[in-house]
Amino acid sequence: MSTSPLPQDRIDGHNAPRRAALMEDYEALGRALSRRSVDIGKIKNTVASFTIATPSWATGRGGTRFAKFAIPGEPTNIHEKLEDCAVVHQLCRAAPRVSLHFPWDAASDYRGLREEAGALGLGFDAVNSNTFQDQPGQAHSYRNGSLSATDPAVREQAIAHNIACIDIGKTLGSRALTVWVGDGTNFPGQQDFTRSLDRYVSAASSIYAALPADWQMLLEHKMFEPAFYSTVISDWGSSLMAAQELGPKAKCLVDLGHHAPNVNIEQIVARLRRVGRLGGFHFNDSKYGDDDLDSGSINPHQLFLIFNELAEAAASARDAFEPAYMIDQSHNVTDPIESLLSSTEAIVSAFAKAALVDRGALHEAQDANDAMMAFQVLRNAYRVDVSPIVAMARLEAGGAIDVLALYRESAWRDRKAQTRNAVGPGTGIV
């Protein structure tokens, strides 16, 4: 039995007075697109099939290394986090899976948790391990690294934790383990670049050996933080090297905030795709570094260009291509549910715009070395206001036409503030 957090008649009641205007906008856009020989219905169906995972850790108020300002009604445990993710999915109908992080989301009964999520209309995405923090009662510290630590006992502990995450994931119905380590250095000479990567790959191979046949191991690179001179898996080159050494189930995960400033991320996406190692994404946006800002809030054009590469890859599939799409953001000044709703809308819109790119015309212009026309093909898709398509896909799936308006009308956070435990002030990113 489904236990959707918001009554469906509230959503229907919200949609009723907005339906005619949406229909008008959708039909007008449909006429404009048909002049370009684009069938809006087909684009809408493609958009309706696109889904993304929400991270459990982004449902609570985020923070910086300086402070965290809690809000009344934020979730304090995995059950409440699932409830909030269910609200996001119920309204936008594009976020049916949740990605858990261990031990942050530790529970006593994972079979029960899977049922609980199922009843809320949710499933589970990749499980994430955490060897970048020490946990109470842990035998060895990750102060000097985890999978690449010089101490074999630390590496063994980190391997065991990752294998424990796989075991939990099997019960939850996950199909991937995402591994991001904080390993790295703050001083030139602190560690040997080669030997630390050797240790990482050797430890990661023990985790890889524990993967079920139909699982993937997603290696997430990050150029800096918490280590500020070097990190062990610093960029897509190191990530790809490690994935290729590990085996075919190892793929690279691209977090949009984990690159040097101004790096051409869309080209990285195309490169990883070319060698069949593009495993997935952590979507967010950034101005300076790993800012974890809301997707599309700073550079929506980059998001579009990334999806353009993905659409290109899907159109010329070399092999099965199913990247894991996920959000990874820190919501420091907003209600996290509102940020997740607005970010999902931005991501789905970028996907929709990429679906509008006239690939034949693009290839023709590229082959003729017509730079201006090639660019105009992209521009013509980018400037289309796809919001009627995205809203129509959402409406037809039972979601809300105006997700933020309905969320505010529902007073969800205020109601939760009456029943959920208060979170004290704190520091830290989650």
Using the rule CB under 6 A, which residue among 125, 220, 312, 345 binds ligand PSV?
A: 220
Cα distance between residue 316 and residue 312, in whole Å: 6
Number of residues assigned to the chain: 430
Q: Whose Cβ is closer to ligand PSV: residue 337's or residue 401's?
A: 337
Residue 429 contacts which entry, Mn ion, ligand PSV, none (Cβ below 5-8 A, type-dependent)? ligand PSV
Conformation bin of residue 365: beta by default, left when phi > 0, alpha when psi is -120 to 50: alpha
Cα distance between residue 261 and residue 245, in whole Å: 28
Cα distance between residue 428 and residue 430, in whole Å: 6
- Burial pattern 120-141, b for ≥16 Cβ within 10 A else e, equals bbbbbbbbbbbbeeeeeeeebe
* Other CB atoms within 10 Å distance of the CB of residue 144: 15
Residue 199 contacts which entry, ligand PSV, Mn ion, none (Cβ below 5-8 A, type-dependent)? none
Cα distance between residue 243 and residue 202, in whole Å: 12
Residue 68 contacts which entry, ligand PSV, Mn ion, none (Cβ below 5-8 A, type-dependent)? none
- Verify binding: residue 57, ligand PSV, rule CB under 6 A: yes
Stretch that binds Mn ion, among 34-42, 167-175, 226-234, 248-256 (CB under 5 A): 248-256
Q: Which two tokens stand for residue 283?
A: 């979507």
Conformation bin of residue 292: beta by default, left when phi > 0, alpha when psi is -120 to 50: left
Q: How many residues of this chain interact with ligand PSV, rule: CB under 6 A?
A: 11
Q: Whose Cβ is closer to ligand PSV: residue 286's or residue 410's?
A: 286
| CB 328 to Mn ion: min, Å | 4
Q: Which two tokens stand for residue 144?
A: 């000097």
| CB 149 to Mn ion: min, Å | 21
Conformation bin of residue 97: beta by default, left when phi > 0, alpha when psi is -120 to 50: beta
Q: Whose Cβ is closer to ligand PSV: residue 266's or residue 291's?
A: 291
Cα distance between residue 227 and residue 59, in whole Å: 26
Q: Whose Cβ is closer to ligand PSV: residue 49's or residue 186's?
A: 186
For tokens 């590496």, the residue is 155
| CB 410 to ligand PSV: min, Å | 27
| CB 184 to ligand PSV: min, Å | 12
Quick one: which of 417, 411, 358 has its CA closest to 35?
358
Q: Which two tokens stand for residue 387?
A: 């919001």
Q: Whose Cβ is closer to ligand PSV: residue 220's or residue 312's?
A: 220
Cα distance between residue 74 and residue 335, in whole Å: 8
Q: Whose Cβ is closer to Mn ion: residue 266's or residue 328's?
A: 328
| Binding characters for ligand PSV, 265-304, by CB under 6 A (x = yes) | -----------------x-------x--------------
Q: Whose Cβ is closer to ligand PSV: residue 285's or residue 328's?
A: 328
Cα distance between residue 32 and residue 44, in whole Å: 15
Conformation bin of residue 335: beta by default, left when phi > 0, alpha when psi is -120 to 50: beta
Q: Whose Cβ is closer to ligand PSV: residue 327's or residue 346's?
A: 327
| Binding characters for ligand PSV, 315-344, by CB under 6 A (x = yes) | -------------x----------------
Per residue, the 3-state secondary structure of 40-100, as one string, reads HHHHHHHHHCCCCEEEHHHHCCCECCCCECCCCCCCCCHHHHHHHHHHHHHHHCCCCEEEE
Using the rule CB under 6 A, which residue among 161, 221, 222, 277 binds ligand PSV?
A: 222
Using the rule CB under 5 A, which residue among 80, 312, 328, 345 binds Mn ion?
A: 328
| CB 332 to ligand PSV: min, Å | 12
Q: Which two tokens stand for residue 263?
A: 């790096």
Cα distance between residue 87 and residue 424, in whole Å: 24
Residue number, nearest CB to ligand PSV: 180
Stretch that binds Mn ion, among 277-285, 301-309, 384-392, 404-412 (CB under 5 A): 277-285
Residue 290 contacts which entry, ligand PSV, Mn ion, none (Cβ below 5-8 A, type-dependent)? ligand PSV
**Cis geometry, peptide bond prior to residue 226 (ω within 30 degrees of 0):** yes
Residue 56 contacts which entry, ligand PSV, Mn ion, none (Cβ below 5-8 A, type-dependent)? none
| CB 95 to ligand PSV: min, Å | 17
Using the rule CB under 6 A, which residue among 71, 210, 417, 429 binds ligand PSV?
A: 429
Q: Which two tokens stand for residue 244?
A: 């290729």
Q: How many residues of this chain interact with Mn ion, rule: CB under 5 A?
A: 3
Site for Mn ion, rule CB under 5 A: 255, 282, 328
Site for ligand PSV, rule CB under 6 A: 57, 128, 180, 220, 222, 255, 282, 290, 328, 429-430
